[in-house]
Structure 1
Amino acid sequence: MNKTEQSQNQQSKPRIIIVHGSAITPGIINRHWYKWLQAELQKLDFDTIAPSLPDEKEAKDCIWIPFLLEKLGSAENAILIGHSSGAMAILRLCEQVKVQGLVLISAGYEGNDEDQLWNWNKIKDNTQWIEQFHSSDDPFAPVNSSRYIAKRIQSTYHEFHDRNHFLCPEFPDLIDIIKTRCGLS
């Protein structure tokens, strides 16, 4: 493939942003699937970033959302992958901007629609597709909350029973989803 073909191929592929959860330190980021996924997607010529988010302990929307908006670039051609509170942050982001796709991992929800003022319909309208992963043995994000989110946003929902909070070194399911959704498989 020559440089022109590589450039055209890169432009046609979405930008992928991996958003970690709260209470994540650089050491944890390097031990779990975030950097592994970034490297694997880059091998497939995706423009992929896994930034360390500011305010990683509290995950305040007023800090994370502007930071993510800055990283998005052309949002409509972006895929956002969020883990735990990172999943909740990208849901909030999609109340404001259109993206190509979302992948939610261990999305935990507390409260009800009135408590959190979620605009579920706007999130659905602002995404072409949504994939969601959860494990029934997750000690941090109740499975019922993830099921509730899946129902509200009509995501493609994948539930496991032995993945805990998905704090594993590799997560091949994500590669398969991205390849399928981007027409590479």
Structure 2
Amino acid sequence: MSVKKAVIIPGNGAGEVERCNWYGWARKELSKIPGFSCQLKNMPDPVTARENIWLPFMEKELLCDEETVIIGHSSGAAAAMRYAETHTVFAIILVGAYTSDLGDENERESGYFSRPWEWEKIRANVKYIVQFGSTDDPFLPWDEQQEVADSLKSDLHKYTDRGHFQNTHFPELIHAVQKLTKLTE
């Protein structure tokens, strides 16, 4: 199993994803890796980010498979984790991952938090799990980010000053993907 591509799954509320946060910048940077491609598409149902719409889109449109690194940000991280419960992928990189609906109606409607997480299935279906989190995230409590890290035994990159990772550049993400591509050479 080797890695051939990355797919960026944005957080909910991201309209034109190419111009949102670090997504477009990261797609351009990752596309520079020889023999590697990176996909970034506007998601259907971008506000509620319903699981029953996003996961089929990830499978049928974005073709996430065993040669894919799924990079999920925020609700995109929740989508990546749920996808990995039932699909084999090369790696998941979780940026701002969390475990509950945070008491938010929109998050509840997404469907990701309607049942317990199947951590063992995710670990069994994914070769590498990398996680980025920040203790000063204004939306996500640190204990939920830490719960993801502990449950998935992820390679956790813990920050204190990144908030919800809504910056326009994210060099550490590029380095993490480059490292994953070297593991398959």
| TM-score in same-fold range (> 0.5) | yes
Question: For residue 19 of structure 2, what is the aligned residue in structure 1?
Answer: 30
Greater relative contact order, per chain length (Cα 8 Å cut-off, separation 6+): 2
Work out the number of aligned pairs and report it: 171
For each residue in 1:14-56, what CA deviation from the matched residue of structure 2 results, as whole angstroms up to 9, or x when unmatched? 2210000001111x64141100000011111321101111111
Question: For residue 154 of structure 2, what is the aligned residue in structure 1?
Answer: 155
Cα distance, 1:177 vs structure 2: 0.7
Preserved contact between residue 7 and residue 64 of structure 2 (Cα < 8 Å): no
Question: For residue 177 of structure 2, what is the aligned residue in structure 1?
Answer: 178
Query: How do 1:97-112 residues align onto structure 2 when only pairs under 5 Å count?
Result: 97-110=87-100
CA RMSD of aligned residues (A): 1.9
Q: TM-score, normalised by structure 2?
A: 0.86
Name structure 2 gaps, 5 residues minimum.
102-112
1:61 has 2:31 as partner: no
Question: For residue 73 of structure 1, what is the aligned residue in structure 2?
Answer: 63
Secondary structure of 1:109's aligned partner: coil
Name structure 1 gaps, 5 residues minimum.
1-11
Q: Identity, % of aligned pairs?
A: 34
C-alpha distance in 2 between matches for 1:179 and 1:124: 21
From the two aligned structures, give the one with the greater helix fraction.
Answer: 1
Question: For residue 144 of structure 2, what is the aligned residue in structure 1?
Answer: 145
Question: For residue 105 of structure 2, what is the aligned residue in structure 1?
Answer: none
Cα distance, 1:70 vs structure 2: 1.1
Q: TM-score, normalised by structure 1?
A: 0.86
Question: Of the two, which has the highest radius of gyration?
Answer: 1
